[in-house]
Amino acid sequence: ETGVTQTPRHLVMGMTNKKSLKCEQHLGHNAMYWYKQSAKKPLELMFVYNFKEQTENNSVPSRFSPECPNSSHLFLHLHTLQPEDSALYLCASSQETVLTEAFFGQGTRLTVV
Amino acid sequence: DQQVKQNSPSLSVQEGRISILNCDYTNSMFDYFLWYKKYPAEGPTFLISISSIKDKNEDGRFTVFLNKSAKHLSLHIVPSQPGDSAVYFCAATAVQGAQKLVFGQGTRLTINP
C-alpha cells in the first residue's frame, strides 16, 4: 500500500469514448502528478498540480484534460484518444514539487481500440 | 533530448552476486538523484536517493554512487536476491528552476537462482 490509489486498474476504450482516470492520495502531500509510461520509453511527465493549481503541462494534447478538485484527488479526463495513447498512466504525489521522492500509484493500463 | 539515460535495457545477475545498474545524465543543474524499483502491475516505489553534495549513500544492501564530473551514477545491490528482479528507474531533479523528476528508460534486472 503506497498511499496513492488509482482506479480503474485496467481500461479499454474506443476512440470516440469519454472516460476518466481517478487518483487519490491520503499522504497529506501538496503536489500531484500524471505520468505516462509507454513501452521502452522513459516515464513522461504530463501534468503537475501544486496546492490544487496546475503548474505544469508538458505539451500534452488537449484530448487529455486533468482536474484537481482538492489536494487529495486528481483526475485525468480522456476524450477521442488515439491507439498510440495506449500506455500505463501513473499518478504520483509528493510533499513538495522538488527535491522529494514521489509516491506512485499502481497505474491504469489503458488500451485504446 | 533525453536528460537521464539508462543505456542497458536489461541485466541478468546470479543470486548472491553484485548487481550494478548505471545511469548517465546530461543536465549539470541536477543536484538530487533517486532510484525507483518497479514490479509488474505496480507503480514505481522509491528505493534510495543521493544529493550532489555526497558521492555515496548506503542503505542496507543498496548503495548509490555519484560521480559528478562524469555525470554518472550507479546503484549497487549486494548480495542480489531473487526478489530484486524488477525494473529499476533512475531519476534526477534540480532545486534551481524547480525542475521536476526526470526519469530514465529503466533497466530490467533479473536475478537468476
8 Å CB contact of A90 and B44 = yes
Residues of chain B contacting A90 with CB distance shorter than 8 Å: 43-44
Is residue A17 classed as helix, strand or coil in its secondary structure?
A: coil
Q: Confirm if B25 and B3 have CB atoms less than 8 A apart.
A: yes
Residue B64, pLDDT score: 98
pLDDT band for position A99 (cuts 50, 70, 90): low
What's the gap in Å between the CA of A29 and the closest CA on chain B?
A: 15
The type of residue at B87 is: V
pLDDT score recorded for residue B1: 67
Question: What per-residue confidence (pLDDT) applies to B80?
Answer: 98
Closest residue in chain B to residue A97, using alpha carbons only = B100
Q: How far is B21 from chain A (nearest CA, A)?
A: 16
Cβ–Cβ below 8 Å for A40 and B43:
no
The answer to whether A98 contacts chain B (CB < 8 Å) is yes
For cell 545477475, name the residue: B13
Bridge partner list, B109: B11, B86
**Residue A13 touches partner B, C-beta closer than 8 Å:** no
Residue type, B16: G
Q: Look up cell 469519454; give the residue.
A: A18
Task: Tell me which chain A residue has its CA closest to the CA of residue B99.
Answer: A98
User: B101 and A4: CB-CB below 8 Å?
Assistant: no
Give residue A9's identity as a one-letter amino acid code: R
**Which residues from A are below 8 Å from B105, CB to CB?**
40-42
pLDDT of residue B94: 83
pLDDT number for residue B24: 97
The per-residue pLDDT of chain A, averaged, comes to: 89
| pLDDT for A61 | 92
Mean pLDDT of A39-49: 85
Strand-pair partners of B36? B46, B89
Taking the C-alpha atoms of residue A102 and residue B93, their distance in angstroms, rounded to an integer, is 11
A97 touches chain B (CB under 8 A): yes
Question: In this predicted structure, what is the pLDDT of residue A97?
Answer: 67
* Cα of B57 to nearest chain A Cα, Å: 15
Note if the bond before A66 is cis, omega within 30 degrees.
no
What the block records as the C-alpha cell of B78 is 549486494
Q: How far apart are CA B22 and CA A69, in angstroms?
A: 39
Query: Which of A46-60, A67-81, B3-17, B33-47 is least confident?
Result: A46-60
Which among B4, B42, B43 has CB closest to A42?
B4
Tens-of-pLDDT digits for all 113 residues of chain B?
A: 679 999 999 999 999 999 999 999 999 989 999 999 999 878 899 999 999 999 999 999 999 999 999 999 999 999 999 999 999 999 998 866 556 788 999 999 999 99
Q: Which of A83, A48, A59, A53 is nearest to B101 (CA)?
A: A48
What pLDDT is recorded for position A20? 97
Neighbours of A34 (CB within 10 A): 24
- Please compute, for residue A80, the number of CA atoms within 13 A of its CA located in the half-sphere on the CB side: 3
Query: What pLDDT is recorded for position A54?
Result: 77
